[in-house]
Protein backbone atom coordinates (compact mmCIF):
# COMPACT_ATOMS: atom_id res chain seq x y z
CA UNK A 1 0.00 0.00 0.00
CA UNK A 2 1.35 3.38 -0.96
CA UNK A 3 0.59 6.44 1.13
CA UNK A 4 0.39 10.03 -0.03
CA UNK A 5 2.39 12.58 1.91
CA UNK A 6 0.89 15.56 0.08
CA UNK A 7 -1.07 16.83 3.08
CA UNK A 8 1.80 16.62 5.55
CA UNK A 9 4.25 18.04 3.00
CA UNK A 10 1.87 20.92 2.17
CA UNK A 11 1.49 21.74 5.88
CA UNK A 12 5.28 21.48 6.16
CA UNK A 13 5.67 24.05 3.35
CA UNK A 14 3.20 26.45 4.97
CA UNK A 15 4.87 26.09 8.37
CA UNK A 16 8.34 26.56 6.88
CA UNK A 17 7.24 29.71 5.05
CA UNK A 18 5.67 31.17 8.20
CA UNK A 19 8.34 30.18 10.72
CA UNK A 20 11.17 30.87 8.29
CA UNK A 21 10.11 34.38 7.29
CA UNK A 22 13.41 36.11 6.64
CA UNK A 23 15.19 32.86 5.76
CA UNK A 24 16.02 31.66 2.27
CA UNK A 25 12.61 30.29 1.27
CA UNK A 26 13.74 28.72 -1.97
CA UNK A 27 12.21 25.42 -2.99
CA UNK A 28 15.68 23.91 -2.58
CA UNK A 29 15.87 24.87 1.10
CA UNK A 30 12.28 23.87 1.86
CA UNK A 31 12.89 20.57 0.04
CA UNK A 32 15.91 19.93 2.26
CA UNK A 33 13.66 20.23 5.30
CA UNK A 34 11.08 17.87 3.82
CA UNK A 35 13.79 15.60 2.38
CA UNK A 36 12.14 15.79 -1.02
CA UNK A 37 13.07 16.95 -4.48
CA UNK A 38 12.71 20.72 -5.02
CA UNK A 39 10.39 20.01 -7.95
CA UNK A 40 7.98 18.32 -5.53
CA UNK A 41 8.02 21.44 -3.37
CA UNK A 42 7.47 23.70 -6.39
CA UNK A 43 4.43 21.62 -7.43
CA UNK A 44 3.03 21.75 -3.89
CA UNK A 45 3.63 25.48 -3.69
CA UNK A 46 1.88 25.97 -7.02
CA UNK A 47 -1.12 24.03 -5.69
CA UNK A 48 -1.14 26.12 -2.51
CA UNK A 49 -0.97 29.35 -4.54
CA UNK A 50 -3.77 28.18 -6.81
CA UNK A 51 -5.79 27.16 -3.74
CA UNK A 52 -5.41 30.62 -2.20
CA UNK A 53 -3.29 29.55 0.78
CA UNK A 54 0.09 30.88 -0.36
CA UNK A 55 1.25 33.91 -2.31
CA UNK A 56 4.21 33.92 -4.62
CA UNK A 57 5.71 36.31 -7.12
CA UNK A 58 7.50 35.04 -10.25
CA UNK A 59 11.22 35.66 -10.13
CA UNK A 60 11.20 36.38 -6.41
CA UNK A 61 11.85 33.94 -3.57
CA UNK A 62 9.36 35.48 -1.14
CA UNK A 63 6.44 33.11 -0.63
CA UNK A 64 4.03 34.05 2.14
CA UNK A 65 0.83 32.75 3.61
CA UNK A 66 -2.15 34.26 1.81
CA UNK A 67 -3.94 34.80 5.13
CA UNK A 68 -3.03 34.42 8.80
CA UNK A 69 -2.08 30.87 9.81
CA UNK A 70 -4.86 30.94 12.44
CA UNK A 71 -7.36 31.35 9.60
CA UNK A 72 -6.10 28.38 7.57
CA UNK A 73 -7.48 25.05 8.71
CA UNK A 74 -6.02 21.64 8.11
CA UNK A 75 -9.20 20.97 6.12
CA UNK A 76 -8.39 23.94 3.85
CA UNK A 77 -4.98 22.41 3.10
CA UNK A 78 -6.46 18.94 2.63
CA UNK A 79 -9.00 20.23 0.14
CA UNK A 80 -6.29 21.99 -1.86
CA UNK A 81 -3.89 19.06 -2.10
CA UNK A 82 -6.22 16.07 -1.96
CA UNK A 83 -9.11 17.58 -3.92
CA UNK A 84 -11.78 14.87 -4.03
CA UNK A 85 -9.54 12.00 -2.92
CA UNK A 86 -11.06 10.32 0.13
CA UNK A 87 -8.98 9.25 3.10
CA UNK A 88 -10.08 5.62 2.86
CA UNK A 89 -10.49 3.50 -0.27
CA UNK A 90 -12.58 0.41 -0.88
CA UNK A 91 -11.14 -2.42 -2.96
CA UNK A 92 -13.17 -2.24 -6.16
CA UNK A 93 -12.14 -5.71 -7.24
CA UNK A 94 -14.14 -8.24 -5.26
CA UNK A 95 -16.16 -11.25 -6.34
CA UNK A 96 -19.77 -10.08 -6.88
CA UNK A 97 -21.00 -13.71 -6.67
CA UNK A 98 -19.68 -14.10 -3.12
CA UNK A 99 -22.01 -13.00 -0.29
CA UNK A 100 -19.12 -11.07 1.25
CA UNK A 101 -17.44 -9.81 -1.94
CA UNK A 102 -20.78 -8.80 -3.45
CA UNK A 103 -21.81 -6.69 -0.47
CA UNK A 104 -18.69 -5.41 1.21
CA UNK A 105 -18.12 -2.44 -1.11
CA UNK A 106 -21.44 -0.69 -0.43
CA UNK A 107 -21.25 -1.51 3.27
CA UNK A 108 -17.71 -0.16 3.63
CA UNK A 109 -18.52 2.90 1.51
CA UNK A 110 -21.24 3.85 4.01
CA UNK A 111 -18.86 3.45 6.94
CA UNK A 112 -15.99 5.21 5.14
CA UNK A 113 -18.28 8.15 4.31
CA UNK A 114 -19.00 8.56 8.03
CA UNK A 115 -15.28 8.38 8.85
CA UNK A 116 -14.53 10.95 6.12
CA UNK A 117 -17.14 13.35 7.51
CA UNK A 118 -15.80 12.98 11.05
CA UNK A 119 -12.19 13.45 9.91
CA UNK A 120 -13.09 16.55 7.90
CA UNK A 121 -14.98 18.01 10.85
CA UNK A 122 -11.93 17.51 13.07
CA UNK A 123 -9.54 18.91 10.43
CA UNK A 124 -11.73 22.03 10.25
CA UNK A 125 -11.04 22.60 13.97
CA UNK A 126 -7.23 22.51 13.61
CA UNK A 127 -5.46 25.61 12.32
CA UNK A 128 -2.09 25.80 10.67
CA UNK A 129 -1.17 28.19 13.51
CA UNK A 130 -1.77 25.40 16.05
CA UNK A 131 0.56 23.17 14.08
CA UNK A 132 3.16 25.93 13.85
CA UNK A 133 2.90 26.50 17.61
CA UNK A 134 3.50 22.79 18.21
CA UNK A 135 6.54 22.82 15.93
CA UNK A 136 8.02 25.88 17.65
CA UNK A 137 7.36 24.47 21.14
CA UNK A 138 9.05 21.19 20.26
CA UNK A 139 12.00 22.94 18.62
CA UNK A 140 12.50 25.11 21.69
CA UNK A 141 12.31 22.08 23.98
CA UNK A 142 15.04 20.44 21.91
CA UNK A 143 17.14 23.62 21.86
CA UNK A 144 16.84 23.81 18.10
CA UNK A 145 16.98 27.16 16.36
CA UNK A 146 13.53 28.64 15.72
First-to-final CA distance of the chain: 35
Mean pLDDT for the chain? 93
DSSP 43: H
- The pLDDT confidence band at residue 57, using thresholds 50, 70 and 90, is confident
- The pLDDT confidence band at residue 58, using thresholds 50, 70 and 90, is confident
Nearest of 2, 1, 29 to residue 16 by alpha carbon: 29
128: left (phi over 0), alpha (psi -120 to 50) or beta: alpha
Cα atoms in the Cβ-side hemisphere of radius 13 Å centred on 109: 7
Measured between alpha carbons, how far is 25 from 45 in angstroms, rounded to an integer?
Answer: 11
pTM, to two decimals: 0.90
Tell whether the model's pLDDT for residue 146 goes beyond 80. Answer: no
Secondary structure of residue 99 in the 3-state scheme = coil
Query: What is the tally of helices (H) and strands (E) in the chain?
Result: 6, 2
The predicted-structure confidence for 70-125, as pLDDT tens digits, reads as follows 999 999 999 999 988 889 999 989 999 999 999 999 999 999 999 999 999 999 99
Tell whether the model's pLDDT for residue 141 goes beyond 90. Answer: yes
Q: Which domains, from first to last, does the chain contain?
A: 6-141 (1.10.10.10)
Amino acid sequence: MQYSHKLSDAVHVLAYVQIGAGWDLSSKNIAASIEANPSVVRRLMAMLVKGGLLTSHPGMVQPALARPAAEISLLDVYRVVAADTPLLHVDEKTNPQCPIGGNIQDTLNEVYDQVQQAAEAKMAEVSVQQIIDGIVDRAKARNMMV
